[in-house]
Amino acid sequence: MRQEETRSVGKKIIIIGGGPGGYTAAIRAAQMGAETVVFESAGIGGTCLNAGCVPTKALLHTAGCYRRIANNAIPGVNITGAELDWPSVQSNKKEAVDRLAGGVGHLLRHNGVAVRSERAFPLSGNSVRAGNETLAADAVILASGSANAPLSFPGSHFPGVIDSTAALSLEEIPKSIVIVGGGVIGVEFATLFNSFGVKTTILELTSQLLPSMDGEIAESIRSALTSDGVTIHTGARLLCADKAPEGLAASFDKEGKSLTVTAELLLIATGRIPNTAGLGLEDVGVKMTRGAIDTDENFRTNVPGLYAVGDCNGRTMLAHAAMAQGESAVSHIMGAAQSINNKYIPSCIYSCPEIASVGMTEEQVLNSGIEYNVGRFNLNGNGRAVIEGVGGFVKIIADKSLGEVLGVHITGPYATELIAEAALCMCLEGTVEDIANTIHAHPTVGESLREAAMSVFGKPIHSLR
């Protein structure tokens, strides 16, 4: 956001959807002087706040604490008889969600945004229908989010086959679970349930766990999960589910062999799809590709005045990307264009250890033909990580001739916080030399970024060349 931007009074913007993209756009629009209305029928905060990012991380926080206590992993602290109080865990999760949702509602009211708890449907880029009422606007922003990707297979109707939303609100912890999908959602739930002592199995269709991540990072987290007792089958295609004494039997094909694994629950975590069905977009003439709304660099659809931000456009299905898109769309509507560089949007996975990345994977750089160097630093040589008792490494990929940072991949404690430094460096077209020349506080895990940068030159301080 530029400080010199001025308020432009007189415009009206209607936003359909109150998730991260929608409520951020609404606040930004109100700050710039627009009359703003948000339609949200399910709950302010959308999937991320109510049934995704926030409740998942709340449960993962408790899981991490329980994991350390139950395993007596806190040096010098001997704990016996630790018990899991699942109703209290769920209560804490709900309290966090309610508090944050209330905070977003307060921000909307404070900024003068009108919130209507009902569904709305676009009629054009300048009008929407809500019930029997038609409302006019200077622009309409679609921020309808995403939904769990359905996976139909024989036995998918059996009790015990659940999606990620249901997995967040279980009445009790199961003894065993099979997770179909080894992407971000699947890995986070595997971390969650395994930490609570649940026998956990992952079935991933592709040959790599976390198929969108850097291969070296993906292999590292696979090794960590396996060491913690998670069974992982890659190259595994689910065939069917059937009833079994333990609950369900999931049959899958792996390398031409039919195998079966049993568990109380079968969690379908095969990703999410744009939530565009039922909005009447075809009637309005909105162009879409496989259910995702087509948009340009300013998030305009082909219908004049109609914008689409967040998961519904299928570009980068992350809450922070939706927020940035919401701000950008509003700025364009108000005549103060604010572009987004999609190359530098970080991705975070709250596994144990955490994973974070920004920019290109090594596989992508290799396929692009760019000549590059790689710097790595193992956290075994980092004081703070040793104290925390959590391993991992930092990997920096840099252009060979200029030293420009092309990608940064981290696994270890606080990885999801550290990645912001890398993203900032890349947004400023920084080099590994810039990172190496920046003094980092000691003892911090952040020092590992500098060490990895120096490793690109073959001159790390706290590891062997």
Residues 241-253: b if buried by 16+ CB within 10 A, e if exposed: beeeeebbbbbbe
Instruction: Please check whether residue 162 is in contact with residue 185, taking contact to mean a CB–CB distance below 8 angstroms.
Output: no
Q: How far apart are CA 304 and CA 315, in angstroms?
A: 20
Strands (E), 164-278: 176-180, 199-204, 231-234, 236-244, 247-254, 257-263, 265-268, 272-274
Cα–Cα dist 145/435, whole Å:
36
Q: Parallel, antiparallel, or unpaired for β 35-39 and 12-16?
A: parallel
How far apart (Å, rounded) are the C-alpha atoms in residues 286 and 42? Answer: 24
3-state secondary structure of 190: helix
Q: Letter for the amino acid at 100?
A: L
Residue 287, phi-psi category: left (phi > 0), alpha (psi -120 to 50), beta (remainder): beta
Annotated catalytic residue 332: no
**CA-CA distance, 339 to 317, in Å (whole number)?**
18
Q: Does residue 155 contact residue 30 with C-beta atoms inside 8 Å?
A: no
List the beta bridge partners of residue 38: 15, 115
Q: Which of 233, 320, 409, 442 is catalytic?
A: 442
Output the six-digit token pair for 130: 């809500």
Instruction: Report the catalytic residues.
Output: 442
